[in-house]
Amino acid sequence: MNAPRALPHADGAPPLRVERLAYSWPNGHTALQHCTFQIPRSGLWMLVGSNGSGKSTLLRLISGLLSPRQGRIDSVLKPALVFQNPDHQLLLPSCFSDLLLSLPADLEPGKRRQAVEQALEQVGLTGLIGRPIHTLSGGQKQRLAIAGALASGAGLLLLDEPTALLDPASQEEVLELIAQLTQRAPQPLTALWITHRLRELDRADGAALMERGQVGPWIDGPTLRKRLYPLP
């Protein structure tokens, strides 16, 4: 694996541990079976795998959107999902109103505007607090979705093909943003990023192949890319 760019998690515990996870859809189809892996420290961790291998189901289980049939998910971090299409998670008309919705319910009213501004600043959208969401570019919308995750206090970002609908420049911006957030001090984020774009693996702190509902071992991102697609 690459020399780790990420810091160890504050209390030394792995940010995420998944043990013998199993999930079957109501129609009886088993999407995950004996799925065991852990994320050893903060950083940018990527999963690749063929269509239907269970990647999105796994993120929904970790986020709590679905409940496992068997197994355990242990994490001290608050999870937040970021979807492929930001239009599926941006609910309100302006950046301000959408981010207000993401803030912890117990945050004092007097601190809310500042918290929204801070979240926008962290994703490079400073000054766009009043902008109607429909006037944002696709890349800006995706960064706003990430700001929502940050505003909610999440420490574990679960990103399901977040660059799939973006133009090449925005793909790079979103990848760079997440890479930076996973190195920020004093609380680096942990990101679990699903991709079909193999060249994104080069930016990972570790990458793993998901097959038939199971996650393989973490290996160096470029090594996994070359294994899956041997051309330079």
Residues engaged in binding ligand ATP (CB under 6 A): 25, 27, 29, 31, 49, 51-57
Smallest separation (angstroms) from ligand ATP to the CB of 58: 7
| Shorter beta-carbon distance to ligand ATP: residue 27 or 186 | 27
Task: Return the one option of Mg ion, ligand ATP, none that residue 52 interacts with (CB less than 5 to 8 A, by type).
Answer: ligand ATP
Query: Nearest distance from residue 89's CB to ligand ATP, in Å?
Result: 17
By beta-carbon proximity to Mg ion, the closer residue of 38 and 56 is 56
Given the DSSP bridges, would you call strands 206-211 and 43-48 parallel, antiparallel or unpaired?
parallel
Residue 54 or 155: the one with the smaller Cβ distance to ligand ATP is: 54
- Closest approach, Cβ 179 to ligand ATP, in A, equals 22
What count of Cα atoms within 13 Å lies in the side-chain half-sphere of residue 9? Answer: 21
C-beta atoms surrounding 187 within 10 Å: 12
For ligand ATP, give the closer residue by CB, 67 or 105: 67
Q: How far is the CB of 73 from ligand ATP (least distance, A)?
A: 15
What Å distances lie between residue 13 and 8, 74, 206, 215, 217, CA to CA? 8, 10, 18, 20, 19
Task: Indicate which of ligand ATP, Mg ion, none lies near residue 20 (CB less than 5 to 8 Å, by partner kind).
Answer: none
Residues that bind Mg ion in the complex, under the rule CB under 5 A = 56
